[in-house]
């Protein structure tokens, strides 16, 4: 087919047990904030991460693990677009950058070791709980400061409706009489 771009993928083998590599891939979201775990099949060792990009619909990153031997694991990374971009060259460059970034990140995470990953995970979880508690306290203290954009939009439309109902009939009477 004309115009179809294959999904960039990269396979490589790493001298590390499958359990260690699987743990590193599960902890990938701790080290990069732009990715979010979309699907995970721990039995088949398949992980799909979702990422968003500036001026793009986003992409999926499939990571598959294959157990070769006791100390050797094969990793296959594939990048799929949610919706294709207009500039195919830009799309290929960004996908290749994601593949390279994930390759480097996975090797970096594996080199840190399981205990280090677990301690980072515990620290992040504790920080997240503390931040959530502080936001709840702040929201109770100053509820007006925590309006969302949707709340402001609702407020604007409410005032438009109130003004049109109250001022509208008077304006109509004024234009008819004068």
Cβ-contact 76, 10 below 8 angstroms: yes
What pLDDT does 64 receive?
A: 93
Q: Is residue 15 part of a domain?
A: yes
Bin 113: left if φ > 0, else alpha if -120 < ψ < 50, else beta: left
What pLDDT does 147 receive?
A: 67
Q: Are residues 99 and 160 in the same domain?
A: no
CATH of the domain at 71: 3.30.530.50
Q: Are residues 31 and 102 in the same domain?
A: yes
The total number of structural domains in the chain stands at 2
Bin 87: left if φ > 0, else alpha if -120 < ψ < 50, else beta: beta
Q: State pLDDT tens for residues 27-67.
A: 888 778 888 888 999 888 899 999 877 666 788 899 999 99
Q: Is residue 61 part of a domain?
A: yes
Q: Is residue 129 part of a domain?
A: no
Q: State pLDDT tens for residues 102-123.
A: 888 888 888 877 777 777 767 7
Cβ-contact 80, 7 below 8 angstroms: yes
Whole-angstrom Cα distance, residue 87 to residue 118?
Answer: 41
Q: State pLDDT tens for residues 70-95.
A: 889 999 999 888 776 666 777 777 77
Q: Are residues 18 and 97 in the same domain?
A: yes
Q: Is the pLDDT of residue 26 over 60?
A: yes
Range of the domain at 85: 9-112
Mean pLDDT of 15-19: 85
Exposed, middle or buried, 102 (CB in 10 Å: 0-12/13-18/19+)? buried
**3 state DSSP class of 53:** coil
Q: Write down the pTM of the prediction.
A: 0.62
Q: Is the pLDDT of residue 101 over 90?
A: no
Q: Are residues 155 and 104 in the same domain?
A: no
Helix axes 88-112 and 18-26, enclosed angle (nearest 10): 120
Q: Are residues 152 and 85 in the same domain?
A: no
């Amino acid at each position: 087919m004309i115009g179809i771009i294959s999904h960039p993928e990269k396979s490589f083998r790493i001298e590390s047990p499958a359990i260690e590599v699987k743990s590193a891939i599960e902890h990938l979201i701790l080290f990069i904030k732009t990715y979010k775990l979309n699907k995970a099949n721990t039995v088949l060792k398949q992980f799909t991460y979702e990422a968003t990009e500036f001026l793009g619909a986003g992409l999926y990153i499939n990571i598959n693990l294959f157990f070769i031997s006791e100390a050797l694991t094969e990793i296959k990374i594939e990048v799929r677009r949610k919706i294709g971009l207009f500039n195919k060259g830009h799309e290929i460059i960004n996908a290749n950058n994601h593949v390279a970034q994930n390759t480097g990140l996975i090797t970096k995470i594996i080199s840190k070791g399981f205990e280090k990953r677990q301690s980072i995970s515990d620290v992040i979880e504790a920080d997240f709980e503390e931040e959530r508690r502080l936001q709840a306290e702040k929201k109770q203290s100053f509820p007006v400061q925590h309006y969302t954009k949707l709340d402001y939009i609702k407020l604007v439309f409410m005032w438009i409706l109130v003004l049109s109902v109250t001022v509208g009939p008077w304006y109509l009477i004024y234009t008819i009489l004068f």
